Structure 1
């Protein structure tokens, strides 16, 4: 068999009259007998023009189809057993944009190489430049469209597909239909499946069907160059179609397998990313970073959170054991290295807490945990663990610890920390045999400041006192606030001399004026000092200091007292007194004495002030100064005050029934701040007035200035209700508190009572009487009555009359007395001697 040109009919090697590359390539087919030949192939010159026309038409058809085709309908027919064919087919369009771009870039390069190679091949066949540029230009145009950046990837894939298939068709055309050139179609179809797109794949298959089936049947000489195909083009088209079909099945299978693998990989990657994301989120939330050290490779992996905790840039910082140690605080570095090295040697887990210094200088506290893994031979090959930022936790713990053992307002030690330190110091005395001292400090009249200027001013005062107390102590001593206005000091290694010095310095510090809300306030303190040794108990020591403090208060305040054993009896008596007061209330042992109040000009009795006394069954009559402070501390002042009101209203009723007076007698009753703070107080007063048939105007409720300053809104409401009821409100001991003109204008006050110290000054000269004169003038300007308390001399009486004081009371007229003794004075008019002085008033 000779390889000959089938169109020549000769047995010689093929020679082309035009010397084209087609001839020089000597593409040949086996010799076919004459009888098997159908019709001779068209000369190459004529076939070239026709094929180019057909190629152009095919490309236009498929370009038009590509515009309309977006998605391939799902193949949903079923096989036996309910199995769907589509389950075996690839889904398509599953590539990510990045993966598609990578594959498209390779295919586009392949297409451009075809455009250039085909143009060169046409020139080598002897065709002109225009011919080469025309046919190569079509491929180049498709390659340019496929390379365009702004075109959707569906169109770019379609253009690349048409470009490569057109290259296949052009190669078949240039080879004169040589059967081997059809293999290019097979390769291109396989390449197109890398797009994993049904549009590109069906476009490629359709192109082959049109080229081989339609064009091969209608113009077989344009597709095939051997007699059998030319004689039976449909048969050969189907044969080629069968091979293409087999190829498609293989490509679809490979595509599906690849797609399944990619889906599994993508799912696994997504799951891994999700796990990593959740891990990173959890680590960020918990501020926990993780690390893994491959010792044989000396490679350490850090999580993102670990980079954040240490404050290093993951792009610039390569984690190593040595570089991590550089981040550890120099004071902790040796300890950390020792712990990790010991874990490496022993294979035991480790944990430690240390400080790290970030690149910006910030120091953070971290807690590290780690484990060790070994190989079959027992060699350590891996270490891994976590590192947690515990800075905020440590700060919170420190804050909580500080709050648990320190006073929030002053920053001093609280009772818990103070007692702990005292207990610890007492245990230390067992070794040293020395003594320590405990001071209890209670601020004098702090309640008046707190009530008059408000709680914020009281807080400022306490803070200033704390600063001053800390300023007088030694470094080893402890100052504490026990609560309210009570402070304490622990003096270690103390003797009487050192304790005396600290007590005196403390009093001096407290005596200095404190400026609050634009005013200078002087607050004194009462200090009790108790010594302790190794034999005394904590509770006894603190109780002794407290007892000494109350002794200082009782002996005049603004002083210090050292504890003495005799003070125990006073403390016990105080407790007994408290118990007796409760019993006395139940036994109704409290009585009222009354002191008359006179109009000073003309002199006549206009009212009385009720003063409580305790008629003790054994001790006799006890003055209020000995039990009122305790009732105020314990709250017994409330039931006692109710009983005093009841006794006073009952006595007013009896006087109304027995005395024949032109004007009703007024009775003043002292009311405490606790009573006035009761929401039911007004109702209680109204009930008593109604029960005893007393006119409200006869009852004068006396309150101190400090009451006006305490919860002013509530007090104003209560006083307004009492005034509406008809009772009168008097300010007792006026001038000793912190009230202002605004308070006097805002409250329904009808009487001002001048305190005894200012009255005493009226008899000492013009300068000393200025205070009393100012109060009288103030009262008259405000339209209220003024009562002078504690008038004891004729000179004071005359001076008060001269300055226009309205009313007065005092020993000059009468001492407080039972109602039975007062009846004689109430029934007897006042008498004056020859000099105009009052006489015969029970003196």
Structure 2
């Protein structure tokens, strides 16, 4: 029954302790004032000391005894009520009864029903015993002397009503605080989780990966990262609509979560690409983990009454001393692309031999490369602003794999040395770079159109153009073996389920 009342349990210990100390200090000072007031009223010294010592002793017990928070608060409340009762008995005036009401807000600082209940019981006992047995001591008017029971009930009822009002106030306050905490928790969760699948988003993944790498340096156990990409996801969206594609992504997220342990992280990078973070996983477990994921994914999915078979390509990378989180994710990506171009529906563990599948390095002028990186940054910023203003459709968004390749190229540019001498720019995996160059060519032509239409203002410098031409020419000369990444590994059985 009492669970419906505020319990003060939401007050942090430091806040409760501070309030408790101040209330007890107030009770002790009030006890001293009671003794002085008794002497002022011509009471004998012995009686004055007893009247002051009684509430002070209760306050000292609440301070020193190893009691629970609730019991200590109840004793503190009893000390204050004794102070008020002593003042009423010493003065014998009706005005002194207001001291009981004045002390209610002090007791209310505990935000707990138990101290208020203690105060109510003591006031009710004082009025019903002292007020009825010795009305001339408690009251100084004839109406109370003639009918002390009625006046005791009136005073007690008013005090109880004030205590009940405090409880109602706390109940509303606690519910509002609880609702606010739930809202903040929900907003925090939304900021760190993918809204479609509920998995961790890129921000949370990067944070957990950084922490895992720090722990890996201390313990010496490696961190395993799996990049999981659905084979041929685009035809699902094209044939069955984005709602069906979303359903497929949600189902894949559920299956990936079933493959990992507590303490591991499943994240969605965007689009149809997912990442699994497995701290403390030795290299020899990589094949078993990949097989587990592929087995979980291989079960048929039923969408719109149609049975669909799903497969994924998996890239696996393991941390090594000094390897950054960005490079670890890049290695997992590179291994995933290698698995995809090796026939799909399989996995590949990154090693140095995969570097042979890259285009190596490109000799560039560092200032030209940085000019292009700055232009790209400004371009993305202005496009984002134009989307917010409704000048560009919000859905105009590039593939997630292209974004990841862009980030890896920009990261490589940031590593270029200062100076005027040409330097070698490390390039990502060939197929990923080919896809990126093809897509970014379209983006730059689109940007030129947007600038002509006065939607954006950013313009490429000659230095940025020179860098892009060098990168473009390097890719184009090897483009004959370009493989379309939208194959048909995900297909629909024509027979309804």
Fold shared by both chains (TM-score > 0.5): no
Range of TM-score over shorter length: 0.3 to 0.5
When you count strand as a share of all residues, which structure comes out higher?
A: 1
TM-score of the aligned structures, taking structure 1 as reference length: 0.27
When you count helix as a share of all residues, which structure comes out higher?
A: 2
